[in-house]
Amino acid sequence: MNDSPPAERPLDQRVFDEWPDAVRTLFDGSSLESKTGFTASLLTVDTSGHVRTSLLGVGELYAPDSRTLCFALWPQARATRAIAQHGRAALSFVCDAAFYQVQLLVAPLAAVAGDDSGLVYLTGSIDTAESQSVQYARLTSGVTFELEGEGKTVLDRWERQIEHLKQAAAAASR
């Protein structure tokens, strides 16, 4: 006979429809230099049914409110074409020792006056979302990177992109 206490649930899985505080802070568009290295995987499905991944940094992601994520993509990117066809994407990333996967319903944002970046701005609303963590192991990162060479140039570009995302998000909410 086994008298040991029942094992704790090894997987802590949480479903949410609003960004948790740690994620909102990550995607708030501020302090980009201190968040450099963070990478999220944007997953889309192309016309052939193949899953495609685009890697995005904090300079390409902005959460204007608790249920929305705006992001910037290059117009020629496969993800941009797939989203234009299906209006859906999934974002996965590691934050605050948990793995997140968020299904997004995506729509285009209007162009921003004075923006000559050539980027396409999109807004996604949370369709379904969950985070997962385990008590016996702490996720410390997902895909990460270091800026090399022209890092300052990239940070400057990210600052402009975030400003344009903020402007586009504000215009869409009016």
Q: Specify the CATH number for the domain of residue 82.
A: 2.30.110.10
* Mean pLDDT on 123-132: 97
The pLDDT value recorded for residue 85 is 93
Residue 34 lies in a domain: yes
Cα angle value 56/36/44 (rounded, 5°): 10
Residue 19 has pLDDT above 80, yes or no: yes
* Mean pLDDT on 87-116: 95
Q: How many domains does the chain have?
A: 1
The pLDDT value recorded for residue 108 is 96
Residue 2 lies in a domain: no
The pLDDT value recorded for residue 6 is 45
Residue 7 lies in a domain: no
Please give the residue range of the domain that contains residue 129.
13-133+149-172
* Mean pLDDT on 77-99: 95
Residue 28 lies in a domain: yes
Residue 144 lies in a domain: no
Q: Residue 8: which pLDDT band, with cuts at 50, 70 and 90? A: low
